[in-house]
Amino acid sequence: MLSHLNAPQREAVKYLDGPLLVLAGAGSGKTRVITQKISYLIDECGYAPNHIAAITFTNKAAREMQERVDKLRPGKPAKGLTVCTFHALGVQIMRQEAHRLAYKPQFSILDSADAMQIINEILKTTDKQEIRRAQWRISGWKNGLITPDVALATAESDLDATYAKIYQRYQDTLKAYQALDFDDLIRLPAELFATDMEMLEKWRKKLRYLLIDEYQDTNACQYQIVKQLCGVSGAFTAVGDDDQAIYGWRGADVKNLHQLHEDYPRLKVIQLTQNYRSTLRILRAANSVIGNNDRLYDKQLWSEHGNGDPVHVMACKDETEEAQNVVMRMLAHKFEHRTRYGDYAILYRGNHQARVFEQMLRNEKAPYVMSGGQSFFEKSEIKDLISYMRLLTNSDDDPAFIRAATTPKRGIGAATLEKLGEYAGQRKISLFEAVFEAGFVSRVTERQLEPLLTFCQYINALEARVRNTPVSEIMADLLKAIDYEVYIFDSDETRAAQNKWNNVQEFVGWLGKKGEADDKNLIELTQTIALITLLENRSEDEIDAVRLSTIHAAKGLEFGHVFLVGAEEDILPHRESVENGTLEEERRLMYVAITRAQRSLTISYCKRRKRAGELQTCEPSRFIGEISQDDMRQSGQDVDPVEQRQQGNDRLANIKAMLAQK
Ligand SMILES: Nc1ncnc2c1ncn2[C@@H]1O[C@H](COP(=O)(O)OP(=O)(O)OP(=O)(O)O)[C@@H](O)[C@H]1O
Ligand SMILES: [Mg+2]
């Protein structure tokens, strides 16, 4: 069973005498160690699957890992095995233990936009930057397990003290809404385990062996949970690569790698040095770029794969030409090598860079999926409608209540909601319920009460029809009743509004189709949607499509052919990183991008790019200069512009002709 592992990998799988850290570079088979070890624990060591938890960084990675385990053990589904993200583990724990922290089990989960909205209400500002800064600060405290009191007591400046006070109010608000934000999903279990030994024992008995992928990107809170659950015995395997730590900006701390040595003096460290993913040229490029960082552990990777093609560095005139070159080359390559769309990935630093490539792929009718971007179900207009569905399904869902009650505006103000939240919190009931209680009614003026009552009565009336009316009809009636179309066109300029309204139509159509096809009622559909959002749209994986992704979201994945686009100064490295002294994290990002490629890597940059409406000259990323010329082939540089355009047109014509033959 362990025959498709090399010697150190096998050692890592079999090692069960204490805590284990596998520290190794990209593509060396760390994730493979985890999947093999899960199946080894079950089949060879008699662990029940429900006593094992494997923790990954994204839902997609969790899904892939589960699939890999199932493949290793055909016909033997590992029932009860936990393979999930830290956040999903947190949900699992909180669903069972919420009452111990004075939350109800049907608490709601707020995404970061919902959280921003709450901060917005506290700060009473529309300055997005300002809100984001506060949110970052609060999130930092939460991830560092620092309570609002401590944050206030240790504040080093007036600004910090202000943030600490906002933090306190933010927490109070969440509590009143019976809602958790993403940080709470990890912080609260850690807090629970720190204060309640009985609970900790219960969960230690349940989760007897922990495996953690991408360990370098855990934050203090996540590390705390690992330590709590594993106790002194240290029944865990952590795998990671400090050169791929790219979430420092979100509170992850590579120091956790060192901390492991200190907390577990018996820690065994195994290194893997053979790379199974990439050709030698790609590997050399990655090694030489990351060699410029001041590194904790120097890890030189080697590979048995041949040299492969040189890394192609492509200079482009501007964004349009870049998108054209990338997409056309990709399609020609696909045609020539008879590969699949799914063998190709276009990676970029920030989501906003995706648009031109999307457009170009669409023009050429090439299927693509996007990850790391906003999903359809996260669009604000869709979230508005989902909030009504959630409220109709479950009147305890306070954030859904708030969103629905205030969208469109119907005269329910922040002050009223605050009073309602306060009252509901004291009575430990939902906002919806509170509206009808005499105790609350006596606290507000008639003018405040009236719109609330009208709204709740409307929801009640609609709810009464849910059981025997098709979902799409409910939604159509709802849209009319709340005048949603008018609301959208009033709050946005025409083109954006039209876009939103199209999305709404698409959503209603989707509800209709889904509702009919699977004979689903509103409750089932609402749950389906929650799952789709949670799983980042499962169907995406099943179709053969080019992947468009941020580098961050591509972590841990591999693709036959990678196009890294927009490799320019101020983008990669990001301008702020140069100013903030986080250049090394940017270099690690470059390393992650390069090491996603198996057989070919193309790096492109523009000579000019539109920024803030102005065409500006760009410099190629300094990281390109860190790749040896011997491993690189360049195109597009220093050619007479007229000649270059002609060449470009000729090439394009050739490719188009080739594709037309197909
Ligand atoms: N011993 C092995 N023999 C053959 N192929 C292997 C072996 N170990 C790993 N691989 C393959 O090498 C590729 C990289 O493995 P894996 O994704 O586990 O690496 P990783 O160290 O987790 O990479 P990353 O740091 O990017 O997450 C995968 O396609 C995997 O199946
Ligand atoms: Mg991996």
510: three-class secondary structure by DSSP: helix
Which ligand 1 atom lies nearest to the CA of residue 214?
27
Which CATH number covers residue 437?
1.10.486.10
Local confidence band at 396 (pLDDT 50, 70, 90 cut-offs) = confident
d(CA 271, CA 352): 38
Please state the ipTM of this predicted complex: 0.99
Q: What is the pLDDT of residue 530?
A: 57
Which ligand 1 atom lies nearest to the CA of residue 595?
26
**Does 30 belong to an annotated binding site?**
yes
User: Quick one: 417 and 454 in the same domain?
Assistant: yes
Provide the annotated active-site residues.
30-31, 213-214, 244, 596
Choose one of 492, 507, 537: the last residue of a domain. Answer: 537
Burial zone of 160 (CB within 10 Å; 0-12 exposed, 13-18 middle, 19+ buried): middle
d(CA 535, CA 642): 49
Domain membership flag for residue 459: yes
Domain membership flag for residue 338: yes
Cα 493 from chain centroid? Answer: 30
pLDDT tens column, 166-199: 999 999 888 877 778 889 989 999 999 999 999 9
Q: What percent of the chain has pLDDT over 90?
A: 55
User: Quick one: 514 and 608 in the same domain?
Assistant: no
Q: Which ligand ends up closest to the CA of 213? A: 2
User: Quick one: 204 and 78 in the same domain?
Assistant: yes
Q: Which ligand ends up closest to the CA of 29? A: 1
- Strands ordered across the beta sheet of 559-564: 368-371, 546-550, 344-348, 559-564, 597-606, 311-316, 632-635
Q: What percent of the chain has pLDDT over 70?
A: 93
Local confidence band at 519 (pLDDT 50, 70, 90 cut-offs) = low
Question: What mean pLDDT is predicted for residues 471-485?
Answer: 93
Q: How far is the CA of 567 from the centre of ligand 2 (A)?
A: 24
Q: In DSSP terms, which residues pair with 194 in a beta bridge?
A: none
pLDDT tens column, 313-335: 999 999 999 999 999 999 999 99
Q: Which residues line ligand 1 (CB under 6 A)?
A: 4-6, 9, 24, 26-32, 241, 244, 276-277, 556, 558, 595
Which residue in this structure is represented by tokens 């629905």? 404
User: Quick one: 202 and 63 in the same domain?
Assistant: yes
Least confident of 180-184, 279-283, 595-599: 180-184
**Does 277 belong to an annotated binding site?**
yes
Local confidence band at 640 (pLDDT 50, 70, 90 cut-offs) = low
Task: Indicate if the pLDDT at residue 287 is higher than 90.
Answer: yes
Domain membership flag for residue 220: yes
User: What would the DSSP string read from start to end of 459-503?
Assistant: HHHHHHHHTTS-HHHHHHHHHHHTTHHHHHHHHS-HHHHHHHHHH
Q: What is the pLDDT of residue 610?
A: 85
User: Quick one: 479 and 592 in the same domain?
Assistant: no
User: Quick one: 12 and 146 in the same domain?
Assistant: no
Q: How far is the CA of 26 from the centre of ligand 1 (A)?
A: 8
Domain membership flag for residue 563: yes
User: Quick one: 558 and 486 in the same domain?
Assistant: no
Which CATH number covers residue 120?
1.10.10.160
Least confident of 56-60, 505-509, 622-626: 56-60
Q: Which ligand ends up closest to the CA of 598? A: 1
Domain membership flag for residue 292: no
Q: What is the pLDDT of residue 543?
A: 77
Give, as residue ranges, everything with CB less than 5 Å from ion ligand 2: 30-31, 556
Which ligand 1 atom lies nearest to the CA of residue 244?
25
Angle at 389 between CA 384 and CA 391, to 5 degrees: 95
CA separation, residue 459 to residues 401, 436, 464 (Å): 10, 13, 9
Q: Which of 120-124, 280-284, 577-581 has the highest mean pLDDT?
A: 280-284
User: Quick one: 398 and 509 in the same domain?
Assistant: yes
d(CA 655, CA 558): 27
Which residue in this structure is represented by tokens 């492991």? 260
User: Quick one: 386 and 505 in the same domain?
Assistant: yes
User: Quick one: 306 and 420 in the same domain?
Assistant: no
User: Quick one: 550 and 619 in the same domain?
Assistant: yes
User: Which residue has a Cα nearest atom 29 of ligand 1?
Assistant: 277
Task: Indicate if the pLDDT at residue 579 is higher than 60.
Answer: yes
User: Quick one: 33 and 70 in the same domain?
Assistant: yes
User: Which residue has a Cα nearest atom 18 of ligand 1?
Assistant: 29
Q: What is the pLDDT of residue 248?
A: 78
Task: Indicate if the pLDDT at residue 106 is higher than 70.
Answer: no
Question: What mean pLDDT is predicted for residues 101-116?
Answer: 76
Q: What is the pLDDT of residue 169?
A: 92
Total number of domains in the chain: 4
Task: List the one residue out of 646, 650, 637, 551 whose CA is nearest residue 313.
Answer: 637
Can you read off the two tokens belonging to residue 50?
């429900």
**Does 29 belong to an annotated binding site?**
yes
Q: How far is the CA of 265 from the centre of ligand 1 (A)?
A: 28
CA separation, residue 453 to residues 384, 458, 459 (Å): 20, 8, 10
User: Which residue has a Cα nearest atom 2 of ligand 1?
Assistant: 5
Domain membership flag for residue 279: no
Buried b (16+ CB within 10 A) or exposed e, 568-600: bbbbbbbeebeeeebbbbbbbbbbbbbbbbbbb
Can you read off the two tokens belonging to residue 300?
């030189």
**Does 25 belong to an annotated binding site?**
yes
**Does 26 belong to an annotated binding site?**
yes
Q: How far is the CA of 186 from the centre of ligand 2 (A)?
A: 22
Choose one of 517, 537, 557: the last residue of a domain. Answer: 537
Q: Candidates 242, 277, 283, 555: which one to mutate for ligand 1, based on the most atoms within 8 Å of Cβ?
A: 277
d(CA 426, CA 221): 30
pLDDT tens column, 236-259: 999 999 999 888 777 677 777 788
Domain enclosing residue 192, as ranges: 7-91+187-272
Parallel, antiparallel, or unpaired for β 632-635 and 614-617? Answer: unpaired
Q: How far is the CA of 589 from the centre of ligand 2 (A)?
A: 15
Altogether, the residues listed in the chain come to a count of: 662
**What is the value of pTM for the model shown?**
0.80
